[in-house]
Amino acid sequence: MKYITFENGDKLPMLGLGTWKSAPGEVYQAVLWALEAGYRHIDCAAVYKNEKEVGDALTKAFKDGLVKREDVFVTSKLWNNAHERDQVQVGFNQTLADLQLEYLDLYLIHWPVALRSHVMFPEKGADFLDHAAAPLSETWAGMEALKKEGKVRHIGVSNFNQSKLEEILASCEIKPEMNQIELHPYLPQQKLVSFCRSHQINVTAYSPLGSADRPSARKKANDPVLMQEQVFQEIADKHGKTVAQILIAWSLHRDVAVIPKSVNKDRIIQNLESADIRLDGSDMEAMSNLKTKHRYIDGTFFTEVPGSPYAQSDLWEKA
């Protein structure tokens, strides 16, 4: 297993279990299977609506001696409706209570988009807080306070483009240590990854398998299916591995952490075994230079809401 080492020496196992789309009835068992298989990194978020069950699984694993708290790296994310300075602590406390933990290893601002505190998903302009009402610098100050209080060991962001990162870097006391973004061969985001690296911001890949199980509201009729790309099958056959394993290995070879989601025991085990795959230069080149380019999680569910104060340029730089 490869690790990211933070400035203070903490280590993040680069392959973790994703829990977005894992139903409350399935995620408990999935987390236990993952810990039994050897995963030591679990990625969570308040908006996944399953943190209580993840917490139940962690509690059981600690109680049974399967793993010690200090040996598991747990990440969660602040939802968009808790961006106001005094709400950051509220959102964090709920996550900590649901996960049944004393501290988090990593806490991320989920999106650079703010909603009113009673809104989970926006339907109209009035559901949002605009940049002036909820400046990112204020949200980040709340994150810094959590770190200073020792409630989180590391803080970072998710779905931040270069200009949003620059906004934080310009006013922060503590630099973001992670940017979690959609990354796979249809969306390599080399420029953003390089920018993060140049500022010692680590990178985690979400949707590394193309999130085929994303909700129908996140699907468009002609979205390409990542896992069906012929090139991956050829490389998988060459190595005697599966396409999913090759995709996970591709992120690891870029020194990017990766969090494939599965609630299936065999796949959970199979995905972890990707850590041992050695892709060669020609594999990496073939996978990184595909004609098809696609972003699955495009943020239009925030930017195309009538009256939204957020534009696509708040989320993604033009390719």
Count of residues for the chain? 319
Q: Nearest approach, Cβ of 260 to ligand A2P (angstroms)?
A: 4
Q: Nearest approach, Cβ of 208 to ligand A2P (angstroms)?
A: 5
Q: Nearer Cβ to ligand A2P, position 174 or 231? A: 231
Distance CA 242, CA 236 (A): 5
Q: Nearest approach, Cβ of 178 to ligand A2P (angstroms)?
A: 18
Q: Nearest approach, Cβ of 43 to ligand A2P (angstroms)?
A: 10
CA neighbor of 12 nearest in space, from 42, 41, 45: 41
Across 26-41, b (16+ Cβ under 10 Å) vs e yields bbbebbbbbbeeebbb
Q: Nearer Cβ to ligand A2P, position 86 or 276? A: 276
- Contact predicate 274/248, CB 8 Å: yes
Q: Nearer Cβ to ligand A2P, position 153 or 218? A: 218
Helix (H, G, I), strand (E, B) or coil at 125: helix
Q: Nearest approach, Cβ of 89 to ligand A2P (angstroms)?
A: 30
Query: Helices 51-63 and 24-37 sit at what angle, rounded to 10 degrees?
Result: 40
Question: Which amino acid, one-letter code, is at 194?
Answer: S
Q: Nearer Cβ to ligand A2P, position 232 or 310? A: 232
- Contact predicate 66/42, CB 8 Å: no
Residues that bind ligand A2P (CB under 6 A): 18, 207-213, 242, 244, 260-264, 267, 270-271
Structure tokens at 313: 């340029």
Considering 3, 28, 39, 48, which one is annotated as catalytic? 48
Q: Nearer Cβ to ligand A2P, position 101 or 193? A: 193
Distance CA 61, CA 45 (A): 20
Distance CA 2, CA 275 (A): 7
Distance CA 312, CA 316 (A): 6
Distance CA 145, CA 270 (A): 39
Would residue 186 show up in a list of annotated catalytic residues for this protein? no
* Residues taking part in catalysis: 48
